[in-house]
Structures are given as structure tokens and as C-alpha cells.
A and B are shown apart, each in its own frame.
Chain A
Amino acid sequence: MNKEGKSASQFSIAFKGFKRNRAALFCGWILALLYLAAIFADFLSPYSYRNEDRGYSYCPPMSIRIWDSQKGLTRPFVTGISLRFDQFHKRIYEPDFSKEYPVKFLTAGDEYLLLGVFPCRYHLFGVDAPGRIHVWGADSRGRDLFSRILYGSRVSLSIGLIGVTISFVIGLLVGGIAGYYGGRLDNIVMRICEMFMMVPGFYLMLALRAAFPPNLNSLQIYLLIVVIFSFIGWASLARVIRGMSMSLREREFVLAARAIGLSDFSIIIKHILPHTLSYSIVAVMLSIPGYILGESALSLLGLGIQDPYASWGNLLSEAMGIVSIQFAPWIILPGFFIFVTVMCFNIVGDGLRDCLDPLLRFEGKI
């Protein structure tokens, strides 16, 4: 018994170890922030993902100023911009100090549904028209990159979670059932798994995408990508879970549950699968980056989320040409977010593995 007089399960003891892992904890917080930002993307972003102004095409990141040449220190403002073309017909933006647009907080702008239900017009910050604020620059059509990255994170971050959840549930159930019953059923299921695992994931993804009509709307494509991912992802998890389930079914507490007369299904749910959790949580954490990268790759190739909807992948597709990277380096920012997210998931996954490892050994599996 621990000090509080309340008994701790081994799981919660192991989780305390995670809190001592600074790097993993830090990355966990970053992920939490990213997901929070994704949830409140429409509030945090000054513009909606489709709000465009061609006059601001490839506008570089603006700096928020607090020093006025005449008035001295003032409230934060952005300047207007003036556009001219140099001798190579390249766009040159220069701050136009004759126009000052103060940065307003909780200001009205594009309408949206907060949390998907409450109609709302207020944004965390913004400037009054005709000024525009582009803290991280704008894309070719003059849409705010900061806003689009926030909106894009909704797709990119959720697709991994939803995809992983579906394949996790399928993998657990299929693996658990195959391992528990064994015999013919197990044989058939495992051959199917191997079929899925034989094909390289990315080609399978392309092939599956090609099997569906090209002109789907973005919601359909989103769902399609989720389904495709889960379709690919469950097999490897199912195989490992099946092995664990096979050894777990011989354990005496499973025999005891059978002697009580519990049904096979409730034994699998209550006594087999919970013991595979420490493995599968780690496996899931480490497989989320694959989903995020997969979505990015599909969208980058133009097979995923379509303009005007944003995802980190299709934002990056603008950065495919060397010319645009050279003239507007800020458009590779979504790539940075992909990198950070993938890295955080990996570090958190590793941290979880480290702290769950004793539990894994205790449960005598793998």
C-alpha cells in the first residue's frame, strides 16, 4: 500500500515513472498544446482557412510593432504594405508606415462555429480591414499561413488519432480472438494479416486511393484516408496481440474466469486485452507518426485533402517547387510542424515504453 493509504495498480505506478522522464513529459505537453490549438483553431486564427486577398500573395511574415516613429511607444500595430515589382518581376513587399492597423484582441471577424456548435465571430486577435495581419506570411493566394496551419492541424492531428483508434480496436479484437481460439481460425486470420503486411504500406495506400473515384469532396476524402489507414494499420498490431493472447489464455486467471463461466467474449475483453495494453499503448503512440506522415504524403501528392481545405500535407504541396521555397521560405513552416509532431509522438512513445517495460516483463509477454 502506498502512503495515501490508497492502493495503486501497477499501471499507475508505472505511469509515475513517465513523469520523471523530462523529455517525454515536455513532448507530451507540446502535443497537448498542439491538440488544444487544433480544437480552438478557428478562435486562435485571425482568418478562416479560405479567407484570401490576392493583393497579399506570398506576403512575407509581418512584424508586430510597438514603436511609432512619431508617437513613440504605442499599442501593438502592423503596418500596411506596399507592393512593387523588381526588374525580374519579382514581388517586393515593403512596410507602408503611412498606414497603421492596431492589433485588436477578441475582435470580430469571419464567422465560425466554436467547438462545432456555438456560432461565434470573435477571434483571439486581428486587425480591422482593409489591413491584414499575416504573422507567418501568406500563401500564393494571399491566405494567412498561420490560420491555415491551425486549421490544417485539425486534419493532420486528428487523422492520426482516429486512424490509430480504429486500427487499434480492430487489431486488438482480431488479435485477441485469433489468439484466444487458436486453431483454424487463428491460421486463417494470420494469413490475412500477413497479406496486408507484405505489401509496402505506401503503395497499398496509393492503390486503395486509386480504387476510389477521384472527385470526392474533402470530408469524403478525409474519411477515406482514415479508412485506408486503419485498413493497413491493424495487421501488425493484431499479430503481436494474437501472440500475447495465445500465451495469456493459458494463464491461470483466465482458466479461473472460464471456471466461473464467463463467456469467451468477456474473458477476452476483461482478462486478455487489458494485459496487452502496456504493449499496445506504446505501439499506438509509435504508429501515429506513420499516419500523420501518410496523410501528408497523400495530400502532398494531391491525392488527399484538396484546396481550399487545409492540411499540413497539402499546405506543403505549395512548397514543392524550388522557386517558391526560394522566394517564400515561410511556406515550408507546415513541414516544421509535421516534424515536431512526429518527433514528439516518438519521444512520448519511447518514454511510455521505458516506464511500461517493467510491467511488460512482469506480465511475461512478447
Chain B
Amino acid sequence: MLLELKNIKKYFPAKTSLFGRKKGFVRAVDGVSLTIQEGENLSLVGESGSGKTTLGRIILKLMPCDEGGIIFDGKDITRLSTGKMRPFRKDLQMVFQDPYNSLDPRFTVRNIIREAMVFERGKRRNQREEKIRALLSAVNLPLDTLNRFPHEFSGGERQRIAIARALSMNPKLLILDEAVSSLDVLVQDQIINLLMDIQTKFNLTYLFISHNLRIVRKISRKVGVMLKGKIVEMAPAEEIFNNPLHPYTKQLLSAALEYKVIPYQGDPDKTDGSLRDIGNGHFVAG
């Protein structure tokens, strides 16, 4: 088991009223449990605001969760301090949503990638340089990009740089938060193909986050459908696409095929967060 989440909850204080009184909470993540096996890519889908990003950041410990447990590679990392967390950092990496925002505009590509290698002790300068070059060619970028700055690249190229940065730490789990959502369809496919190419080479497992079911079809073995902080359906990818059970999943599916988004009218709060076992590894709420 690579990653296990146990009943993760994260509530944000909602907007305060004029006099500073708190008016309830936003339940960004509301009792999510899931497991990821090594090599078994999981996709999380759900409309925007359903808590996918928050969940991803909680796994990376970029923000603390209010409740629940994160077990990574057999170790409980839920309450580790910044210093104790450091050895796990290299195993857990993320490619962020906005390629125009996730690369420091003042750093050259070389420095962006090299920064991720600071904790690799005992490597000589030319060894690092060699590794940087190897990473660049792994993500299909020409070597002359090394001395250039992020603003000189297109979205797709930037996302490749971000992937190279994440790969430089040899992570076991790579979280891709809407990593292709901002790209156009053709580039999306290129990046997805790239990700599938490098998966075996770098021994990766993906947690792929997207609001679009169509994108995740190729890359995921399992799909979890998130709605308002809860997982409402979790099944192998083929099951989700051939036999969607939860009405929200059906909506997402039709939206993905028709390229439009229909907000779900129902309320997931009626369920208690537990999933019914349908068979075929297929679970659904309610």
C-alpha cells in the first residue's frame, strides 16, 4: 500500500460577517478515505470546489488536516513536523494546476530543476548537470531550454518543466492537480502520453486530479468521484465509464462527453460518507 487516507476532514472557516462572527464552515474535505496501491493510478474527479485541490495539498502536507490520518508507505505522516517530514518529501511530489504560476519567473529552467535536488547530498556538480539533462530529455524538452526563463515557454512546455522538477526527486507518488486542465486538447493528450511513458521508467504512481472525466480515462486504473468534499463513487476506471451508478457520476460523464458542465442538484450530505460495495471493486454512496 503506497498511500492510505483515513477519514480526512478539512473545514475552512466560512466568510465572517461584518462584526467578525464566524458563520459556519466550508467543508472542503469531509471524511475522505481512500487507498492507492503502487502503480495503481487513481483519479479524483469532481466539479470545481469539490475539495480536490485541498485533498491533494493535505496529502503533501502543504496544509494540515483537521481530522483523519495519512499513511504513506506504511508510515503515519499525519502529524510529522516540517523537519521530520523532509525525508518523505522526495517520495511525494506534485505538479500544480497553473503552469503560469508554479514556476518561479525569476529562475531559469536549470535553477528550477536544480533547486529540487538540493537535498541530494554527495552529488558533484557535473553529475547534477547530467541528471538535469536526462530529466529534460525524459520530458521531451530540448537542452537549450536550460538557460531560459519560464515566461519564454508555452503552457504545455511549462508543465513539462514542472514534471521534470517533480521527477528530479524520484518520487513514488506524483500528484497531478489539474495538471493538464489549462492546456488545449492536443497538448493535453501529449502530456498524458508523456506521463504514461515515464510511469514505468521512473516507477511512478499517479494521483490524477481533474474536473473532467474524459481526460482521466486513459491514465487511471481507479476513479473516485468527489462531490462537496466527499467521495460518492469509487470504482475501476472501466466500471465508472461503463456502469456509472451515482447520479452525479452520470452527470459528470455526460458533461464530459458533451463538453459542458451541469451543476449537480442533489445533496451528498444525506449520505453518511460510507460507500456501498457493488462488486467488481465498485463502491457508491447512498
Please list the residues of chain A having a beta carbon within 8 angstroms of any beta carbon in chain B.
1, 6-11, 251-253, 255-264, 270-271, 274-275, 362-363
Contacts and interface: CB of A to CB of B under 8 A. Distances in A.
Contacts of A8: 149
Contacts of B98: 252
Given A259-B89, A260-B116, A363 B96 contact: no
Given A253-B101, A259-B60, A11 B108 contact: no
Contact of A252 (B92, B97, B116, B119): B97
A74 B104 CA distance: 66
30 contacts: A1-B148, A1-B152, A6-B147, A7-B108, A7-B149, A8-B149, A10-B105, A10-B106, A10-B151, A252-B96, A252-B98, A252-B101, A253-B102, A253-B103, A253-B104, A255-B96, A255-B102, A256-B102, A256-B103, A256-B162, A259-B60, A259-B62, A259-B93, A260-B115, A260-B169, A261-B119, A262-B118, A264-B82, A270-B104, A270-B115
Contacts of B152: 1, 7
Contacts of A263: 82
Nearest to B162: A256
Nearest to B169: A260
B57 A255 contact: yes
A8 B86 CA distance: 34
B52 to A, nearest CB: 15
Nearest to A359: B105
A4 to B, nearest CB: 12
A252 B159 CA distance: 13
A363 B105 contact: yes
Contacts of A255: 57, 62, 94, 96, 102
Interface in B131-182: 147-149, 151-152, 162, 165, 169
B90 interface: yes
B1 interface: no
Contacts of B82: 263-264
B187 interface: no
Contacts of B108: 7
A261 B90 contact: yes
B109 to A, nearest CB: 9
B261 interface: no
Contacts of A260: 89, 115-116, 118-119, 169
A336 to B, nearest CB: 41
Contacts of B57: 255
A326 B106 CA distance: 57
Q: Which of A253, A255, A264, A275 has the most CB of B within 10 A?
A: A253
B60 to A, nearest CB: 5
Contacts of B34: none
A261 B105 contact: no
Most chain B CB within 10 A, of A6, A8, A258, is at A258
B72 to A, nearest CB: 14
A271 B162 CA distance: 16
Contacts of A258: 62
B94 A259 contact: yes
A362 B100 CA distance: 11
B85 interface: yes
Contacts of B104: 253, 257, 270-271
A251 B86 CA distance: 21
Given A255-B96, A259-B89, A363-B105, 8 more contacts: A1-B152, A10-B149, A253-B101, A259-B60, A259-B62, A260-B116, A260-B118, A275-B106
A305 to B, nearest CB: 40
A11 B106 contact: yes
B53 to A, nearest CB: 10
Contacts of B169: 260
A265 to B, nearest CB: 11
Nearest to B105: A10
Contact of B115 (A9, A252, A257): A257
A270 B107 CA distance: 10
A304 to B, nearest CB: 40
